[in-house]
Chains A and B, each alone.
Chain A
Amino acid sequence: MLDDLKKIWYPIASSSDLPKRHVYHAQLLGREFAVWRADDGNVNVWENRCLHRGVRLSIGINEGTELRCQYHGWRYANRTAGCTYIPAHPADAPSRTICNNTYPMKEFMGMVWSGEETFGDPTYFENFDEFTVLRPIPINANFDLVKELVKSKYDKLNYLCKDEVNGAFSVTFERSETILFFVQPQDSNLSVLRGVANKALEGAKKISFLKMHNQILQNSRQEIEKISKTMKNNPMIAQISNVSVELSELPEKSEKNRQANLRVMVSEKIKTAEGIVSIKFEALDGQLPTFQPGAHIDLHLQSGLIRQYSLVNGPGETNFYNIGVKLEEESAGGSSYIHNNLRVGDVLACSTPRNNFPLRRDSVKTIFVAGGIGLTPLLAMAQALNVMNLNYEFHYFVKNAKHIAFSSILEKSKDKVFIHEGFSPSLTVEKLSRILSKRQKSMNLYVCGPGPMLEATRRVASELSWPDKSIHFEYFKNNNEIDDSSCFEIELARSALTLNVPSGKSVLEVLRENGIDLPSSCEQGACGTCKVNVIEGEVDHQDVYLNDSEKLEGNIMMTCVSRALSNRLILDI
């Protein structure tokens, strides 16, 4: 019986219950929902429980694009309900699989509809293009009793009552005015009676109409509750669904290798600056997975090439992925293909977003230094800080005004964005020295741009005594020439395997050949996806992902390019 009811679409709120930035607490068949409207109009119906420690999300904060839990500040994205930030671990990107339970949602006839296991589409009633929603009446009684007694109330008033689908009923008045009634079963003994009339009423007429029905319904409410008192129904128990085994344990990182498990369609391609296009992708079906600021996707182009692009999206912009692509003069076919051949409507394969460039949000101030197309991951980060009202400066170095990309996004935080046009390398260094001289404790620097500029920024920051761990950078590519001539042995501590890495083959390749599935993305030592922990042995670092102190420590290596200086490495795999 309860299982059948779960398949039905019920109204769970009036649209007017969801004013801007509010979170509404709804209940259906014993299950609580947190219902909130994002600034883009999308209505989210989520289980009313933060997956972390069970705190009701209905007491959380609707920030317009994300919902923030009151207890530990975890942020959940509009639409996907995926967790985008865990403040207790600001240096980590949250596992993207942490996702709240969501329920289907439709909004029509001035009401929000949902159900736990709805089947198909809801019933859309004819002649309800115009409507007036009655004040919902909560009644302490079983939904069957409510229906029966409200119907008989209108019957006695000599109106025509008729049963409709799924327990709804209609009441028709003289001038062909009809009210549809729905009884929302909140629990076995708790219902909400929701009515909607097929006429758009305004002003005094509306008020008198609402008043009249409110009075009829309030009267029947009292009668119903008197009868209901003598009846007893066991409360409905909503099953708490299990989180996955992976999420129930203290986190470990594991992702699949270069897989492209998403299919996306190009929905927009526009020139955003000289030589730079902005491309938006939408999911072919379903919802795109959650991303965090700094994340990138692997795009599998029709030409067979795989390229990494950072997402530009701001928080909560979850119904598309936005990337920026610069036409490289010496393009090996990636950027030129995108610029010349890719069209709106094309379908591509891409990986789920991966974040090896996570943004700390516990800085007293964040400094962004972007060079050219390197602004893309930093732009996503700056938008995240905007939403949280955190302090930052955004320095964007470009050739000239024509090369300023995504200006409409930059425009939104004018007072924090500083654009530096046409600086020579030496002037750039001078400027950077000035920008980075104002360092205080708890500041973080994020740099992305062409290799030489990135090197210069790191050097200047280092000279101005920014600690290594406060300097975060992402290279587009590894310009180092990879020396893969060495041969050595690797011992896998967890798999109890010993393998030989011959010259000409990477550690990653050898692992793959032996059936060990390691995630990777750029496979040239720039993105950080294929990193593993090193337990023993001296690493020959050839990547540009790790900073100097991390390289010196030698606890981590990039398996796609780095090798061994010693005869043997023991890896934590």
Chain B
Amino acid sequence: MKIGCNDKVILDQWHPISSVDVLQIGDIHNTVLLDTDISYQLDVNGDALAWLLFDNSKTLLPIRIFYGFLWVSLGTPPEFLFPFPEFDEPDRRNVATGVFGVNVSAGRTIENFLDMGHFPYVHSGILGEEPHTEVKEYDVEVSEERDEVLATSCKFYQPQAAVSSMEGMDVDYIYRVPHINCALLYKSSPVDEARLDVIIIFVQPMGEEWVRAHTGMCIIDDDSTAKEIRQFQQTIFGQDKPILENQYPKKLPLDSRIETPIRADKSAISYRRWLSKKGLQYGVIPSAI
């Protein structure tokens, strides 16, 4: 029985390993978490179980179902995961939009999710379009109480903001990072102006430079099929993946001297400082101090 990681900060987290909707009762699956081989299944009662793959005694690991996903810990996890109240609103559709293997650290994956400046270049014609490249000033705070990074009043020009509109317009975004490897994006709903659609990314660190990104949407939309929703998300992620895999170093630099931020990177800077303060070592280049 061997755990391939000794960073307590990351060991004590809940980590996503699968969306529940793809599991069949009784089937045993293997995956890797923090350089450690694990197995998991839904047993005949529908209860989730997980154990280390090479552990003959099959000692059970902490495992829970939150927000449509299985979460496992290799250490001592907190009792609850971060709040995500929209998940339980009755008129919303929760769609798991796919899991993507990416050869990069979890931190780089989250940072890409928080980034608006790349929309016109990486998601050209969908989330942005040249020459509308400006990232306008926005607000970032790190909430002590909720222990999360929050970016608000984010605006970015989107060429076709809604299916019904022919013109581009500024779209409002809110970003939450309530977990080292998880982020949620809130975006005005094309169906109901007063409410926000949520796009989620929960990253499973298989190794320090190797992740699976579990994605999903929690939206107010009766028209689109689940397939259409998945296809959209998969197009977007498919465009990000080659960029992420060409980042060097692959680990997220918490050492500020490695890269050059600009004002548009305020949320990324706050995220890096927040991770630094937690003392995270796994998948990052720690701050030199």
List the interface of chain A (C-beta within 8 A of B).
Answer: 32, 48-49, 51-56, 59, 70-73, 86-91, 98, 240, 242-243, 245, 247-251, 361-364, 388, 390, 442
Pair B247/A53 contact, Cβ less than 8 Å: yes
Pair A248/B260 contact, Cβ less than 8 Å: yes
Judged by a CB distance under 8 angstroms, whether B118 is at the interface is yes
Residue of A86, A388, A390 with most partner-chain B CB within 10 A: A86
- Cβ contacts A to B, 5 pairs, < 8 Å: A49-B248, A54-B249, A86-B262, A91-B134, A243-B258
Instruction: Identify A88's interface contact among B134, B243, B246, CB under 8 A.
Output: B134
A90 contact set on B, CB distance < 8 A: 131, 133-134
A70 contact set on B, CB distance < 8 A: 121-122, 243, 246
What is the distance, in angstroms, from B283's C-beta to the closest C-beta of chain A?
14
Pair B256/A249 contact, Cβ less than 8 Å: yes
Name A98's closest neighbour in chain B (CB-CB). Answer: B260
What is the distance, in angstroms, from B260's C-beta to the closest C-beta of chain A?
5
Number of B interface residues in the complex (CB < 8 A): 32
Pair B260/A51 contact, Cβ less than 8 Å: yes
Give Cα distance in the complex from A54 to B107, angstroms: 13
Name A32's closest neighbour in chain B (CB-CB). Answer: B248
Name B157's closest neighbour in chain A (CB-CB). Answer: A362
Pair A88/B117 contact, Cβ less than 8 Å: yes
Judged by a CB distance under 8 angstroms, whether B279 is at the interface is no
What is the distance, in angstroms, from A187's C-beta to the closest C-beta of chain B?
14
What is the distance, in angstroms, from A400's C-beta to the closest C-beta of chain B?
35
Judged by a CB distance under 8 angstroms, whether B58 is at the interface is no
Residue of A56, A88, A242 with most partner-chain B CB within 10 A: A88
Pair B262/A251 contact, Cβ less than 8 Å: yes
What is the distance, in angstroms, from B275's C-beta to the closest C-beta of chain A?
16
What is the distance, in angstroms, from B201's C-beta to the closest C-beta of chain A?
17
Pair B121/A73 contact, Cβ less than 8 Å: yes
Judged by a CB distance under 8 angstroms, whether B266 is at the interface is yes
* 1/0 contact string of B226-244 vs chain A (CB within 8 Å): 0000000000000000110
Residue of A51, A87, A91 with most partner-chain B CB within 10 A: A87
A88 contact set on B, CB distance < 8 A: 116-117, 133-135, 262-264
Give Cα distance in the complex from A364 to B132, angstroms: 8
B146 contact set on A, CB distance < 8 A: none
A242 contact set on B, CB distance < 8 A: 257-258
B265 contact set on A, CB distance < 8 A: 250
Instruction: Identify B243's interface contact among A49, A55, A362, CB under 8 A.
Output: A55
A71 contact set on B, CB distance < 8 A: 118, 121-122, 243
B257 contact set on A, CB distance < 8 A: 242-243, 245, 248
Judged by a CB distance under 8 angstroms, whether B269 is at the interface is yes
Give Cα distance in the complex from A243 to B258, angstroms: 6
Q: Which 10 A-B pairs have the closest CB atoms?
A: A87-B133, A242-B257, A88-B117, A88-B264, A88-B135, A56-B246, A248-B256, A362-B131, A247-B260, A51-B260
A56 contact set on B, CB distance < 8 A: 246-248
Pair A87/B120 contact, Cβ less than 8 Å: yes
Knowing A251-B263, A362-B134, say if A72 contacts B117 (CB, 8 Å).
yes
Give Cα distance in the complex from A263 to B45, angstroms: 81
Knowing A86-B262, A89-B135, A89-B264, say if A72 contacts B269 (CB, 8 Å).
no
Pair B133/A51 contact, Cβ less than 8 Å: no
Judged by a CB distance under 8 angstroms, whether B101 is at the interface is no
Give Cα distance in the complex from A249 to B272, angstroms: 13
Judged by a CB distance under 8 angstroms, whether B261 is at the interface is yes
Pair A363/B131 contact, Cβ less than 8 Å: yes
Residue of B118, B131, B135 with most partner-chain A CB within 10 A: B131
Pair B118/A89 contact, Cβ less than 8 Å: no
Judged by a CB distance under 8 angstroms, whether B259 is at the interface is yes
Pair A54/B269 contact, Cβ less than 8 Å: no
Within 8 A of A (CB), among B185-232: none
Give Cα distance in the complex from A70 to B242, angstroms: 10
What is the distance, in angstroms, from A182's C-beta to the closest C-beta of chain B?
26
Knowing A243-B257, A362-B134, say if A250 contacts B247 (CB, 8 Å).
no
Pair B259/A55 contact, Cβ less than 8 Å: no
A248 contact set on B, CB distance < 8 A: 256-261
Give Cα distance in the complex from A393 to B57, angstroms: 76
A48 contact set on B, CB distance < 8 A: 248
Knowing A55-B247, A56-B248, A72-B121, say if A250 contacts B131 (CB, 8 Å).
no
B130 contact set on A, CB distance < 8 A: 73, 87, 362, 388
